[in-house]
Structure 1
Amino acid sequence: MGATETLERPETRERQTDNGPEVFHYVKKNKIAESAVMGTMVQALCGEVFPVTKSPKPNSPVCPACKEIYDSLPKGE
């Protein structure tokens, strides 16, 4: 997966439990609108699968696993 296929800002899934704060995940850009409109599932870089339900606010917490994977991807491909 090239860096241009990955969202540069994270999207989220709603927490089903109260195990901590909501975190936002990185997902492929081309899947976000479809998921938001149609309710289809997306897969985050960390492997979590969920429908896009919200957009992040500035300084929102990012999934640590997604961030680590995103930061390791080649830039500008």
Structure 2
Amino acid sequence: MSTQTIERPDLDERTEQDDDTPKVFHYVKKDRIAESAVMGTHVVALCGEIFPVTKSPKPGSPVCEKCKKVYAKLKK
């Protein structure tokens, strides 16, 4: 009897977003960010999306287009 080695291809079996990394980052009131990160409470973004803060954006991270538009109107 002989043994044969079968190589398994390296497959990343995770789904597209297995981790909690958001696809885009949203604009949120500053005073709510720390509270959400520590307490796990939900925040409301300028675009209306509700979520808990789990990650902080890095420079160059994608930003929600709806939040950008609302923020631009608020600055005027």
Fold shared by both chains (TM-score > 0.5)? yes
Query: Deviation above 6 Å: which 4+ runs of structure 1?
Result: none
Unmatched 5+ stretches in structure 2: 1-19
Are 1:62 and 2:63 matched, yes or no?
yes
Deviations 1:21-60 (A, max 9, x none): x100000001000000000000000000000000001110
Report the counterpart of residue 71 of structure 1 in structure 2.
Answer: 72
Q: After the TM superposition, which residues 1-77 of structure 1 pair with which residues of structure 2 at under 5 Å, given as runs?
A: 14-15=21-22, 22-74=23-75
Instruction: Report the Cα distance in structure 2 between the residues aligned to 1:56 and 1:31, rounded to whole angstroms.
Output: 15
Task: Please tell me the residue identity of whatever aligns with 1:48.
Answer: E
Instruction: Report the Cα distance in structure 1 between the residues aligned to 2:55 and 2:75, rounded to whole angstroms.
Output: 27
Q: CA deviation at 1:74?
A: 2.8
Task: Please tell me the residue identity of whatever aligns with 1:63.
Answer: C
Higher strand proportion (structure 1 or 2): 1
Instruction: Determine what percentage of the aligned residue pairs are the same residue.
Output: 70
Task: Give the SS at the match of 1:42.
Answer: strand
Structure with bigger RCO (C-alpha 8 Å, 6+ apart): 1
Give the paired residue count.
57
RMSD: 1.5
